[in-house]
């Protein structure tokens, strides 16, 4: 496993890879049991995130390994289906998973997303259209959503 940190327009971000797959992207600097090394894959992840943050990329083309409980994995796969520039709600995702009453569990899973930005949990908003929690902070969530809606700020 390798980890490396970069400064971005959203603050410091860490990228963790294992066996040529991305397993974590997170904000800040946290203790990760991994060798701190900028590998070719980590550099490519950073480049794609940078392009995204500059408005030059709408989807990512990097190998990821989705981890978590079976339910969390289903949620993360559903999040990957939310197109750039669109949002969904916890309830809509629960319905996508054929479990309409599981919207709270979807929210909890969303908050544990290990691969920020690439698995776009920031695209999930409250049923009433309001911003709801985001592990990276609501200020970052608002910036990400406005980036994707730059011609039409929504929040």
Q: Which residue has the tokens 């730059």?
A: 150
- CB hemisphere CA count around 20 (13 angstroms): 0
Q: Is 121 a catalytic residue?
A: yes
Exactly one of 75, 115, 119, 121 is catalytic; which is it? 121
So which residues are the catalytic ones? 121
């Amino acid at each position: 496993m390798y980890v490396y940190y970069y400064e971005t327009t959203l603050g410091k971000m860490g990228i963790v890879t294992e066996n040529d797959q991305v397993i974590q992207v997170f904000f800040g600097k946290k203790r990760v049991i991994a060798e701190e090394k900028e590998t070719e894959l980590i550099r490519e992840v950073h480049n794609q995130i940078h392009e995204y943050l500059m408005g030059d990329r709408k989807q990512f083309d990097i190998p990821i390994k989705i981890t978590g409980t079976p339910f969390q994995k289903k949620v993360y796969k559903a999040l990957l289906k939310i197109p750039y520039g669109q949002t969904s709600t916890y309830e809509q995702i629960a319905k996508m998973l054929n479990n309409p009453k599981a919207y709270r569990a979807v929210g909890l899973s969303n908050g544990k997303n290990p691969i920020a930005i690439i698995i776009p949990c920031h695209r999930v908003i409250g049923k009433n259209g309001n911003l709801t929690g985001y592990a990276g902070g609501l200020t970052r969530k608002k910036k990400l959503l406005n980036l994707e809606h730059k011609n039409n700020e929504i929040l």
